[in-house]
Structure 1
Amino acid sequence: MDATKKSTKDKILDLLKKEVSLTVNDLTDRLNITHMAVRKHLNILEKDGLIQSNEIKQPMGRPLQIYSLTEKGERLFPKNYEGISVEFLHDIKDLHGEESIHYLFKKREQRLTKEYSTRIAQKSTHEKMNELVKIQNEKGYMANISQIGENTYELVEYNCPILAVAKEFKTACSCETQMFKNVLETDQVNRICCKTDRDDHCKFLIKF
């Protein structure tokens, strides 16, 4: 959705998804609206069970209210299992062994490599990275790219549409990393943070 057409409540949910936790002041600064307006939206979101607040004691003054998404709030963001369910994968593992799981994810890696390569081919490095982010966002990853050096990029994925699967089968993560290497034609793709390791986001350092 076009960010300019999003409601203030949607923007708050997006910010909490990306930043994990924020105060009223943080939200006021980012949304450029009044404290009163922010609190009004937060009260509604909290009443709907989409966000929660925690008090952080401070050396002086009143405790600080920190807001974050609840499980119900997390469920608003895309979850795209691409026909794969955790139970189904466990059944396959029980029937055919661990190797069958690796084979399935390798097949998925090959399929995605072909799909992504078609769109990224014949582009400059910078164009490749922008197209990669575009594809990931189409798939619900809430991705963002930053160029941090002449030939170095940082890719952040704020949402993982297959998190439930990846938590059970880490090979999903290694296959995604390998797929990026295949598509971008560089071996220097390092996953430095991963949501399956309880990090807030998945983050990659990519060098050409």
Structure 2
Amino acid sequence: MTRQSPTNRILLLLKTEGPQATAALAAALGITGEAARQQLSRMAEDGLVTSVSEGAAGRGRPRQLWHLTAAGNAQFPDGHAALTTALLSTLVAQLGTGALEAVIAGREAETLARYRAQLADAPDLADRVRRLVAIRTAEGYMADSWMLDDGSWLLVENHCPICAAATACAGFCRSELETFHALLGGRVERAEHILQGARRCAYRITP
């Protein structure tokens, strides 16, 4: 997603910020509300977004928030989902689940070694988190992080380029959590999970 057309900008905003009202999208794009409505209507006709009514607090009218559809989410890299799923199924069918676990363990070891090399001179947790965010973003995870009021960190991944593999085998998600824990230290907990219906994966990192 390198082009910055209005469609791509809206897709990116909804992917990274979650459901948005028309006015908020118009403000973010620097266009009028009417222009935003026209753009969103075209995107809805293309099946990329959908408008959902959410109840207002008090007596107000329900708010209309725009969400990405499955087709909208598919505009982001999927890591060759169909091929990945087929390969995993064939691996298990031919060699058994033990072979799949061996593949996951090997991938985890390689990933951890590579990440450690890239973070070797990071002086503290804050710098390790920031560098990990940069690495994961380069790998397609659309990552971000910030410090919470209690001094812990929240690392979020707005996209999962290996979602098909993770859906086929939860071991990939378990491996990711273990990698983060080994790399960052402290306590790492998954607070949100795409495979459980969340729009992103999020990890709380407590020193």
TM-score normalised to structure 1 length: 0.86
Structure 1 residues 25, 82: CA separation in 2 closer, same or farther (over 3 Å shift)? closer
In 2, distance between residues paired with 1:128 and 1:150?
18
- 1:124 corresponds to: 123
**Aligned partner of residue 104 in structure 1, secondary structure:** helix
Structure 1 residues 36, 162: CA separation in 2 closer, same or farther (over 3 Å shift)? same
**1:43 partner letter:** S
Counterpart contact for 1:79–1:140, Cα < 8 Å: no
- 2:173 corresponds to: 173
**1:105 partner letter:** I
Match of 1:35 among 33, 36, 48: 33
Counterpart contact for 2:155–2:203, Cα < 8 Å: yes
Structure 1 residues 127, 68: CA separation in 2 closer, same or farther (over 3 Å shift)? same
In 2, distance between residues paired with 1:103 and 1:207?
30
In 1, distance between residues paired with 2:206 and 2:64?
39
In 2, distance between residues paired with 1:68 and 1:205?
25
Q: How many residues align?
A: 205
**Aligned partner of residue 198 in structure 2, secondary structure:** coil
**2:179 partner letter:** M
TM-score normalised to structure 2 length: 0.86
Q: Percent identity?
A: 28
1:102 to partner: Cα distance = 1.4
1:134 to partner: Cα distance = 0.5
The 10-residue stretch of structure 1 (58-67 or 106-115) with the greater mean CA deviation from structure 2: 58-67
**1:17 partner letter:** K
1:98 to partner: Cα distance = 1.9
List alignment gaps of at least 5 residues for structure 1. none
**2:52 partner letter:** N
Counterpart contact for 2:48–2:71, Cα < 8 Å: yes
1:97-117 deviations in Å (ceiling 9; x for gaps): 222211111100111111111
CA RMSD of aligned residues (A): 2.6
